A and B are shown apart, each in its own frame.
Chain A
């Protein structure tokens, strides 16, 4: 296989299975292109599940490392997005588990000092009230991991029920009921929190 054969023009959405095949054969450029295509999506999920930039960065990178390793087992014609979501979700779960055993100090300061990324601020963050954001984040953090995951995939990643089923490895019906429960839980918690305040 020559270099020319394996080189895929970047940015062509139709070429994704080809990119995956090329990456499976060890084409680093193809894999890098896949990384570039999904880096934001993966980071978003990682951030939603960890809610701090340092963990999100770590998780997102690690997700791609895992993806690279496991790429050989991936069927190129499957959509990549749910698969990557699954990897990052599982990584977040194991992070949760390890954190439970060894509790971390709250990572809130990282968020606050958020200037660690050269970009001054992000639009969503600067455009809205920090307190409201925290309020919602706290309520979300109290949810069970699987509820967090299902909400993240739906709300942050905008995955369809089918894709979520793939990402979570559960039937579509389970996705539906779990999502509904997660929403009710969140609503209840927001209510609870507001009752306290």
Chain B
């Protein structure tokens, strides 16, 4: 019998036509070896996907586009600065959102500031250079002139030095000449020119201030208004986008006056006001909205960081099925990317705008809990009960879907085994933080030899879950079998039986047949006959159900 090639297996795995022939299917039903190879490839892909996965979190992505923008802008700013006034260039719309203007404003302020410093502190030099420029502008570039000032200037300088300086400082360098050269006639013309240059830049900087990102809505208003503010917050970009029909604009104004009655400082303008005030400002200056893009297009609001202030506290507690607090749980408001971690008492608080959000709570050793929460009023409370994780959920859960074979294993007692193997070595803080609370070491009361064997066996399990094949899992089962003979405490023995059952289940999954089915079932029964923990019992019962109802191959 000719086995399937790697390419055929690979194509079969990806459901490609080249791997979907009848012949291949027939071969797979007949050939355990190829079936096993395919299962291994499937598992390998799955593990690879998990190993290469990384989610930096929703918050990272809420600001991602803005950072791309920043980068684009930073690169194009050099060439763009000179043309800042020209709104018709389409790419300049990048600069028209408040954030961008603020950014440009900051740069412009620095430039303007630097220019002012130069003008005020180095008055002589600047005016001199300007004078030189003015004098011989048409012929050559300013640098040329600085390097080789016209003879008349030089002579003039020399004569000045002669008159005022002692002989030792005579023979000034060219630079000196430039620095010393007086330029009274050019000064009146040069200064305004410079001022003109500084003027608009500074102006822009000032313009940019009010909409300074301040996406936060400080919201001094009460709860009743809070909701409206929220709505406004989201609605604003769209409205602004449509160039705000007159009555809409009026509403915005009213809103703004209401909420900003205690006259907020311009720098702390609320996000919704940012857009609102922009349009107002434009109306004031141009009498009816000059550039539609200027009024905070959705891109700006969407890119800005999520709001922070003027929000409602959402507090709660994370507990396990028995009502005990779960510490270090990662709590996240998925929709808006707010995250926090639960305290030792399982408590957490997040601030969020009013509204309905998906709350996701993750903790090692528990299933990720997701629920809709409604944030309203002054403070919202929520209690999150975590479901115990099943040992086999591992990667399959996090990546969605199910494995046909070789489902990865979540080693939720790895830490325990490790610390048991090396009792002297303090567990790293990270591990402790990650461990299920309260951390349970099933091998706590065991002899040194037994914990050593258990550690070896755990290593085998870990290896098998990394590289799940029938031999690796069988090896793991065997290792736990020998560990079991040395283990004395009920908890330790229970863990060993549990691991054996797990390994037997995995072997059965790799290639189900009657013998493996029976082995998996009796291993499961062995666990249940002992003193399993609640989690172990639940898992084992689930596994046994799976084995009983699953495929058995050919009897």
Contact = CB atoms under 8 A, between A and B. Distances in A.
A120 B293 CA distance: 37
B90 A155 contact: no
Contacts of B519: none
Interface string B51-65: 111111111110011
Q: Is the interface of A mostly helix, strand, loop or mixed?
A: helix
Given A26-B91, A120-B339, A44 B53 contact: yes
B522 to A, nearest CB: 28
Nearest to B241: A7
A137 B52 contact: yes
B465 A156 contact: no
Given A39-B61, A119-B60, A127-B395, A154 B52 contact: no
Interface stretch (B4-12, B157-165, B378-386): B4-12
A66 to B, nearest CB: 10
Contact of A136 (B10, B11, B47, B299): B47
Contacts of A166: none
B57 A118 contact: yes
A9 B90 CA distance: 20
Contacts of B89: 26
A28 B299 contact: yes
Interface residues of B, number: 80
Interface centre among A125, A135, A180, A181 (most CB of B within 10 A): A180
Contact of B339 (A43, A119, A151): A119
A186 B430 CA distance: 30
Contacts of B243: 3-4
A4 B57 CA distance: 33
A33 B50 CA distance: 28
A29 B51 contact: no
Q: Is the interface of B mostly helix, strand, loop or mixed?
A: helix
A132 B52 CA distance: 11
Contacts of A134: 51
A152 B51 CA distance: 11
Interface stretch (B38-46, B181-189, B224-232, B275-283): B38-46
A142 to B, nearest CB: 13
Nearest to B11: A176
Interface centre among B51, B58, B298 (most CB of A within 10 A): B51
Interface in A35-84: 35-36, 39-40, 43-44, 47-48, 51, 53, 56-57, 60-62, 64-65, 68
A7 to B, nearest CB: 6
B332 interface: yes
Interface stretch (B105-113, B199-207, B406-414, B494-502): B406-414
Contact of A129 (B10, B90, B97, B414): B414
Nearest to B412: A129
B49 interface: yes
B52 A155 contact: yes
Contacts of B7: 176-177, 180
B96 to A, nearest CB: 8
B65 A32 contact: yes
A10 B126 CA distance: 52
B339 A118 contact: yes
Nearest to B66: A32
Contacts of B518: none
Interface string B348-366: 0000000000000010100
B341 interface: yes
Contact of A183 (B44, B241, B430): B44
B482 interface: no
Contacts of A33: 299, 302
B54 A176 contact: no
B75 interface: yes
A102 interface: no
A2 B242 CA distance: 11
Contacts of B430: 112
Given A120-B330, A129-B410, A26 B93 contact: yes
Given A26-B93, A65-B71, A122-B57, A186 B48 contact: yes
A105 interface: no
A119 to B, nearest CB: 2
Interface of A: 2-4, 7, 10, 25-29, 32-33, 35-36, 39-40, 43-44, 47-48, 51, 53, 56-57, 60-62, 64-65, 68, 112, 117-129, 131-137, 140, 151-152, 154-156, 161, 176-177, 179-181, 183-184, 186-187, 190-191, 194, 197
Which 5 A/B pairs are nearest by Cβ-Cβ distance? A119-B57, A26-B90, A122-B55, A136-B51, A180-B10
